[in-house]
Amino acid sequence: MRVFQIEGDWGIDNLKLSVRPEPEPGPGEVLVQMKASSLNYRDLVVPDRGYGSHTGTLPLIPVSDGVGEVTAVGLGVRRVVPGDRVCPTFFQNWTGGEPNLERLTGSLGGPIDGTMSEYMCLPEEGVVKVPSHLSDVEAATLPCAALTAWSALTTCSTTKPGDRVLVQGCGGVALFAVTFAKLLGAHVTVISSSDERIERVKAFGADATVNYRAVPEWAKATREITGGRGYDLIFELGGEKTLPQSLRCIRPGGTVAMIGILSGSTMATSLGLIITRQVRLQGVTVGHRDGFEAMLLAIDQHQVKPLVDRVFAFEELKEAMAYLKSGAQFGKVCIASRH
Ligand SMILES: NC(=O)c1ccc[n+]([C@@H]2O[C@H](COP(=O)([O-])OP(=O)(O)OC[C@H]3O[C@@H](n4cnc5c(N)ncnc54)[C@H](OP(=O)(O)O)[C@@H]3O)[C@@H](O)[C@H]2O)c1
């Protein structure tokens, strides 16, 4: 079967179209014929071994997100049957409960082989069935970015109707955050660097917006949007440069969901504000299978359609990665069916 893999040495130049033997499902395993994949920021980091020893070993098949059809099942499999359309879960060992080291280290697309493969052989516990109203590329967008947004809103905090939620940027996690926060009845503010994106995200459902390039001190402007009260939940995607602002517009007792470090990973902020406002800094790492299945119920119930910006062919993985890196997209960058 055809795969993309990083081979020989780390680095994007060593990401190559290659061939591996087709796997066979053993007891408790399922064989999935992959139909589509979707890219996340982390997929740009993996080829350079950006997560250190947690990135895995070579050769490595990249990309965490995808969808496919079960074509065969091993002895004793009960959760799925051939013909089911499934997404592999991002963390293959985290089905539910509290995170622990073992649950947080088994992620697809590094260190475990990812979705850029014609077939994947996975434990039956590591897949979820997807709703029928979604196309393959739409379903492929869900395992990482969507579940991260869902977990921040529902597992790592408890978002209620009327809550004020602030989302940084218009990237993959951010747009799912807007969708799910609105679905839960929250009021959503989005900050973005581009007026064009701001117009698009307003049409997509954002209640209020601020251009963080035009207004670098956006904490004051966004706090005013909440009538001075501050935000119940902030999607912290920027990290180093944005956290100091977030701490000035979170409400006392609010939650800053620590998700991304797009502007740097050093903590250089007034710790006093965290104490005096009794702020909760809550790390979010994608989420577990129970959360994924709860999110899928909501997606099915409300017929949610993920926003797909552009679809590339299987052979065009590197072009798709370059497009994601350019930041030109509004919605997910996907890789189409390979059959
Ligand atoms: N912890 C987890 O479980 C988890 C899961 C998924 C992703 N992540 C992390 O979350 C981050 C975003 O991932 P993604 O896949 O959504 O990336 P993405 O689709 O590439 O989104 C990037 C967007 O973030 C916005 N942005 C960049 N720098 C910013 C800043 N300084 N302030 C505010 N917004 C900024 C920009 O929006 P505008 O162009 O609109 O300004 C940019 O388009 C990454 O750091 C990623 O590693 C973490």
Per residue in 172-204, pLDDT (tens digit) is 999 999 999 999 999 999 999 999 999 999 999
283 Cβ below 6 A of ligand 1: no
Amino acid identity of 336?
A: A
**Domain assignment of residue 230, yes or no:** yes
Q: How far apart are CA 72 and CA 70, in angstroms?
A: 6
**Domain assignment of residue 150, yes or no:** no
* The pLDDT value given to residue 268: 84
Whether residues 184 and 123 share a domain: the answer is no
**Domain assignment of residue 76, yes or no:** yes
Whether residues 233 and 257 share a domain: the answer is yes
171 Cβ below 6 A of ligand 1: yes
Residue 261 pLDDT more than 80?
A: yes
Q: How far apart are CA 184 and CA 179, in angstroms?
A: 9
Contacts of 31 (CB under 8 A, 6+ apart): 23, 24, 25, 70, 71, 72, 73, 119, 120, 121
**To test ligand 1's pocket by mutation, which of 262, 295, 325 has the most ligand atoms within 8 angstroms of CB?**
262
Q: Is-contact 152 125, C-beta < 8 A?
A: no
Task: List the end-to-end C-alpha distance of the chain, in Å, as a whole number.
Answer: 11
Q: What is the mean pLDDT of residues 6-24?
A: 97
Give the pair of three-digit tokens for residue 24: 């066979």
* The pLDDT value given to residue 298: 98
Q: How confident is the model at residue 338 (pLDDT cuts 50, 70, 90)?
A: low
Contacts of 231 (CB under 8 A, 6+ apart): 164, 165, 166, 189, 222, 249, 250, 251, 254
259 Cβ below 6 A of ligand 1: yes
**Domain assignment of residue 38, yes or no:** yes
Whether residues 311 and 274 share a domain: the answer is no
* The pLDDT value given to residue 339: 55
* The pLDDT value given to residue 313: 97
CA 173–ligand 1 middle distance (angstroms): 7
Q: How far apart are CA 269 and CA 287, in angstroms?
A: 27
Q: Residue with the nearest Cα to atom 31 of ligand 1?
A: 238
Whether residues 292 and 278 share a domain: the answer is no
Whether residues 140 and 171 share a domain: the answer is no
Q: Which CATH number goes with the domain that contains 139?
A: 3.90.180.10
Q: Which of 283, 300, 319 corresponds to the end of one domain?
A: 283
Distance of CA 199 to the CA centre of its chain: 23
Q: Residue with the nearest Cα to atom 8 of ligand 1?
A: 260
* The pLDDT value given to residue 165: 98
333 Cβ below 6 A of ligand 1: no
286 Cβ below 6 A of ligand 1: yes
* The pLDDT value given to residue 337: 79
In the chain, the percentage of residues whose pLDDT exceeds 90 is 97
CA 74–ligand 1 middle distance (angstroms): 39
* The pLDDT value given to residue 191: 98
H and E: helices and strands count for the chain: 11, 15
| Structural domain that includes position 33 | 2-145+287-335
**Domain assignment of residue 152, yes or no:** no
Strands 250-258 and 231-236, by their bridges, are parallel
**Domain assignment of residue 50, yes or no:** yes
210 Cβ below 6 A of ligand 1: no
49 Cβ below 6 A of ligand 1: no
Q: Closest ligand 1 atom, CA of 286?
A: 3
Counted domains in the chain = 2
Q: How many beta carbons lie within 10 A of that of residue 101, not counting itself?
A: 6
CA 261–ligand 1 middle distance (angstroms): 8
215 SS3 class:
coil
Q: Which CATH number goes with the domain that contains 238?
A: 3.40.50.720
**Domain assignment of residue 31, yes or no:** yes
Q: Residue with the nearest Cα to atom 44 of ligand 1?
A: 260
Give 275's Cβ-side CA count (13 Å radius): 4
| Average pLDDT over all residues of the chain | 97
How confident is the model over 279-296, as pLDDT tens digits?
Answer: 999 999 999 999 999 999
**Domain assignment of residue 124, yes or no:** yes
Q: Closest ligand 1 atom, CA of 287?
A: 3
* The pLDDT value given to residue 224: 98
Residue 150 pLDDT more than 60?
A: yes
Residue 66 pLDDT more than 60?
A: yes
| Nearest alpha carbon to residue 253 among 272, 271, 233 | 233
CA 40–ligand 1 middle distance (angstroms): 9
**Burial of residue 274, with CB atoms counted within 10 A of its CB: 0-12 exposed, 13-18 middle, 19 or more buried:** middle
Q: What is the mean pLDDT of residues 219-248?
A: 98
Q: How many beta carbons lie within 10 A of that of residue 162, not counting itself?
A: 10
Whether residues 173 and 136 share a domain: the answer is no
* The pLDDT value given to residue 330: 97
Q: Global pTM?
A: 0.97
Q: Closest ligand 1 atom, CA of 173?
A: 16
